[in-house]
A and B are shown apart, each in its own frame.
Chain A
């Protein structure tokens, strides 16, 4: 008889059980189970689409972990294709991080896997599929395979009366010619938590409440702008990491894979719309009603006239700047140049990092403990939400801005034809994937694997 403690010790605390024997899988019941299966999602009245979902719901079940407390998750793949689940934003060994490029074993069609790991760091994370989709716009992130993951800190998680998780997603994609001369996915339906505006239950709040909105953009390719009419967002965390300076803002911008944690003081009773600021996406369904107790009537939407967002608003104050890590240590700079390769007006562009497409891309070997500065040099006409697995990075320089620090993220949007610098400490040995989080970009070469020396 092997105890769970012994099993964890045996497996180096964190392994995907596909590497273990069948007996080991049966030793202890899982803390969570996830079934990946085909699912008919009712987006709107008389509008159902066939997709793939976790546990027959979109988004998948909310997973709440305690930081530092090992968890076991059994995943069964009922689909006809291999799958893998990526635990986005967690510092996990490569074998269990959920990217086959790093060495996490795929879950074969009809197969099962057990993920065992110790979740950290605390904060708002998420989990999602990490498979190749290519031209199949019914696979990968184009599906409903995403869910919220909250790693709660050991201490009090915060002061709020209600916590609401919202996922922004786009559906029913088709390849259409875009302004840059190539094909890009375009969507017919956009939703919050898998429903279009007016379909499904409203968010119910009470006057005087503090509501913590945990918002995820799980869209395969699209950036989204969210406002709640009549209210302001107090942004307290980006990608699950507390920001140095919480700020009140009228709207949020979330690139694919980004998360924002924002407190809203419910001080304006009535029925309101929370939704996409851009009219055509709101018209495609991205919105949800917010109803105060006792309020009735049609939810109101006050259309903003401008888009506004600036990561730097949440950065550490200039006068409070401590010596930046790059000044305190010998930071190694790694320039990463993003560019597109034309593949025809009838195809999606191919993508390169430093002139090469994955799997030919290669980053320099990382030395454990070393601080690195990644220069994201975007020489394309597309914005790119780039994501580094298994680590957090710190925003250091935004286009046209002085040095900054204090904002920790795992995904950041690099605007077209700009440069953005981040820094991270190589403190989690193992193959580490870096990629654009737009499904069509990562599928077309925009990925690179860092290896530790």
Chain B
């Protein structure tokens, strides 16, 4: 029994460390385990531009080359351990103008602080629709475990996400494995730098060849200028054929607190 626990643990760690994750380039983010506090809202704008991406229309899907994605993410804290997020995806591209791409909803729960776990753990599930000209798989579902840990100036997070297509060509594929991970380092209280990794390995148990996997690595910086603001900027490369070769991303977030501040709360 004890050996079994060890094997499960080793498997979990190895799984977390593996690459692969089917990330649409609308919201490129490795999640941390913390959730938004109750009676407060986080509004984020994800801006992603692909200077060098897919140049051809394939199966009716627009090319990503020179696409500008703007995603509005609104996350509302529910309790001290839960939140729900809403996404509005848009795309701008020469010849197509500004287009609505789709919407997602993402409830999330986390392990409460009072449990004193040595790592932050949360679990999100994301359900949503994207228009077929932007994603042939229109209705998708994702479940994303999130594990993170601060160690002094270092920060580590892994998101070994599993994805499922509900409507589209990959509906018979089953669960796809799409991990993301981040390692960061605090150069100062306000400036952190790090590496983010995103991948889509394909179907669990029957991964794509490396050539056909999504593999992206971003060099990023996080600017912690204020507890109210979240700023993340990065440049990513995709070395495989299935990946956009260059992507520039930015996240600008603002935290709104709706609580009536009282000194006795």
Interface residues of A (CB under 8 A from B): 172, 174, 176-177, 179, 181-183, 186, 188, 277-280, 303-307, 342-347
Pairwise interchain contact B264-A303, C-beta atoms closer than 8 A:
yes
A181 to B153, CA, bound (A): 11
Q: Which of B33-92 contact A (CB under 8 A)?
A: 34
Contact of A174 among B113, B149, B151, B186 (CB under 8 A): B113
Shortest Cβ distance from A176 into B: residue? B113
Query: Complex Cα distance A253/B152, Å?
Result: 33
Q: Which residue of A lies closest to B262 (CB)?
A: A305
Q: Which of A181, A186, A345 contacts B155 (CB 8 A)?
A: A345
A188→B265 contact, CB < 8 A: no
Q: Does B116 contact A (CB under 8 A)?
A: yes
Chain B residues positioned under 8 Å from A306 (CB to CB): 263-264
Given the known interface contacts A304-B264, A346-B151, the answer about A186 and B186 at a Cβ–Cβ threshold of 8 Å is no
Q: Chain B residues near A347: list those with CB within 8 A.
A: 150, 152-153
Tell me whether A344 and B262 are in contact (CB under 8 A). no
Residue of A nearest to B148 (CB): A346
The residue from A174, A182, A279, A307 contacting B116, defined by CB atoms under 8 A apart: A174
Pairs of residues from A and B, 6 with the lowest C-beta to C-beta distance, nearest first: A346-B150, A344-B153, A344-B152, A342-B189, A347-B152, A307-B263
* Shortest distance between the CB of A34 and any CB in chain B (Å): 30
On whether the beta carbons of B265 and A280 are closer than 8 Å, the reply is: yes
Looking at A177, A304, A307, the one whose CB has the most chain B CB atoms below 10 A away is A177
Q: Which residues of A contact B154 (CB under 8 A)?
A: 344, 346
> How long is the Cα–Cα vector from A18 to B131 in the complex, in angstroms?
80
Question: Which residues on B sit within 8 Å (CB–CB) of A305?
Answer: 262, 264
Q: Does B95 contact A (CB under 8 A)?
A: no
Give the chain A neighbours of B265 by CB distance below 8 A: 278-280
Contact with A along B116-131 (1 / 0, CB 8 A): 1000000000000000
- State whether B264 touches A277 (Cβ < 8 A): yes
Given the known interface contacts A277-B264, A278-B265, A306-B263, the answer about A344 and B186 at a Cβ–Cβ threshold of 8 Å is yes
B114 at the interface (CB under 8 A from A): yes
Q: What residues of chain B lie closer than 8 Å to A346, measured between beta carbons?
A: 149-155, 186
Report which of B116, B152, B188, B227 forms a contact with A179, defined as CB distance below 8 A: B227
A280 to B34, CA, bound (A): 20
User: Which chain B positions have C-beta within 8 A of A277?
Assistant: 264
Query: How far is A132 from B186 in the complex, measured between Cα atoms in Å?
Result: 27
- Given the known inter-chain contacts A342-B186, A344-B154, A344-B186, please indicate yes or no for A279 contacting B264, CB distance below 8 A: yes
Work out how many contacts link A and B, with CB atoms closer than 8 A: 60
A186 and B113 in contact, given A346-B151, A347-B153 (Cβ under 8 angstroms): yes
A263–chain B nearest beta-carbon distance, Å: 25
From residue B148, how far is it (CB to closest CB) to chain A in Å? 10
Complex-state Cα separation, A279 to B261, whole angstroms: 12
Closest to B32 in A: A177
- A residues within 8 A CB of B150? 177, 183, 344-347
Q: B152 CB to closest chain A CB, in angstroms?
A: 4
Is B93 close to A, CB under 8 A?
A: no
Question: In the docked arrangement, what's the CA distance between A247 and B154, Å?
Answer: 51
What residues on A are CB-neighbors of B189 within 8 Å? 181-182, 342, 345
Is residue B224 within 8 Å, beta carbon to beta carbon, of the partner chain? yes
CB-defined interface of B7-47 with A at 8 Å, one 1/0 digit per residue? Answer: 00000000000000000000000000010000000000000
* Contact among B34, B151, B188, B264 for A342, CB-based, below 8 A: B188
| A181, A278, A345: residue with the most chain B Cβ atoms closer than 10 Å | A345
Taking A181-B224, A346-B149 as known contacts, 18 extra A-B pairs with beta carbons closer than 8 A to each other, sorted by chain A number, are: A174-B116, A183-B150, A277-B264, A278-B263, A278-B265, A279-B264, A303-B264, A305-B264, A344-B151, A344-B152, A344-B153, A344-B154, A345-B150, A345-B192, A346-B153, A346-B155, A346-B186, A347-B152
* Contact digits for B89-120, partner A, Cβ 8 Å, 1 yes 0 no: 00000000000000000000000011010000
Q: Measured between C-beta atoms, what is the minimum distance from A35 to chain B in Å?
A: 28
Give 25 CB contacts A-B under 8 Å: A172-B114, A174-B116, A176-B113, A177-B34, A181-B189, A182-B189, A186-B113, A188-B114, A278-B264, A279-B264, A279-B265, A280-B265, A305-B264, A306-B263, A342-B188, A343-B153, A344-B153, A344-B154, A345-B153, A345-B192, A345-B224, A346-B150, A346-B152, A347-B150, A347-B153
For the complex, give the distance between the alpha carbons of A183 and B34 in Å.
Answer: 14
Chain A positions within 8 Å of B186 at CB level: 342, 344-346
User: In the complex, what residue of chain A is closest to B116 when comparing beta carbons?
Assistant: A174
Residues of B contacting A182 with CB < 8 Å? 189
Would you give the shortest CB distance from B262 to chain A, in whole angstroms? 7
Closest residue of B by beta carbon distance from A277: B264
Q: In the docked arrangement, what's the CA distance between A347 and B151, Å?
A: 7
CB distance from B129 to the nearest CB of A (A): 35
Give every chain B residue within 8 A of A280 (Cβ-Cβ).
Answer: 265
Q: How far is the CB of A168 from chain B (nearest CB, A)?
A: 16
Q: CA of A183 to CA of B152 in the docked complex: distance in angstroms?
A: 9
A63 and B154 CA atoms in complex are apart in Å by 47
Inter-chain contacts of A304 with B (CB < 8 A): 264
B84 to chain A, nearest CB (A): 22
B222-262, CB under 8 A of A: which get 1 and which 0?
A: 00100100000000000000000000000000000000001
**Closest residue of chain A to B156, judged by CB?**
A346
Chain B neighbourhood of A345, CB < 8 A:
150, 153, 155, 186, 189, 192, 224
